[in-house]
Amino acid sequence: MKKANDICSLISDEFSANSYSENLINAVCSLYRYMKLNRWTGACHASSAVLYVVLRELGYKPRLCIGEVYGKHLYFDHSWIELDGKVIDLAISMTLFHHMAVTGPVILDKDVVSGKKTAVRYGVPGRGIEEGCSVMMNTPFTLYMDLNSSQNDHLWDIVSIILDKKIDIDRLSIKYRNVQRELVRI
């Protein structure tokens, strides 16, 4: 198993090869390190929400996606980010399935560990969206950010950690109050 810093080097290489900024690279690596340090398994909804806000605050226009994915012979509900039409998915490497990695972190459609296009299929029709995912889709974004405390920090606190600066939570709550996860079905 590769260490977080080794994975961050691979993440950095992929973003750099596609001409993304150092700020974006640092933010994604910081989130990945946070997830590893805090054993943030099964945190696809939380990590994608945090990454969505972070990327928006850095001036990018990500999509916050939710749907079914297929990988390792399993269909499961999942959340991820799309940036410039390509998947960014750190949580896929830290699933609830006995902490099994379905793949390495996916950066711009590529499994950075294998160096190949990810074999995971996003937005596929499988068993249908389950109740837990349906609830997630219908929970107002800022309420989710305010109340999610399944980890040591609330999600706004994690945004602040990843951006490495104090944030105005009230301002961000207003700014992101109309955000909704986009159901992806291919």
3-state secondary structure 61-92: CCEEEEEEEEECCEEEEEEEEEECCEEEECHH
- What's residue 89's pLDDT? 97
- Alpha-carbon distance values, 93 to 30, 90, 113, 137, 180 (Å): 15, 6, 10, 22, 24
Structure tokens that stand for 42 in this block = 């099964």
CA distance 61 to 173: 18
What is the value of pTM for the model shown?
Answer: 0.93
- What's residue 128's pLDDT? 75
- What's residue 102's pLDDT? 82
Residue carrying the six token digits 């700014």: 175
Split the chain (186 residues) into runs of 10 and give each run's mean pLDDT: 82 97 97 92 93 98 96 88 98 76 92 95 85 84 82 82 94 96 90
- What's residue 15's pLDDT? 98
- Is residue 94 within 8 A of residue 40, CB to CB? The reply is yes
* Residue among 41, 45, 35 at smallest CA distance from 137: 45
CA distance 40 to 105: 14
Where b means 16+ CB within 10 Å and e means fewer, 41-65 reads bebbbbbbbbbbbbbbbbebebbbb
- What's residue 132's pLDDT? 78
- Is residue 45 within 8 A of residue 150, CB to CB? The reply is no
- Alpha-carbon distance values, 8 to 16, 32, 36, 76 (Å): 12, 8, 11, 26
- What's residue 71's pLDDT? 87
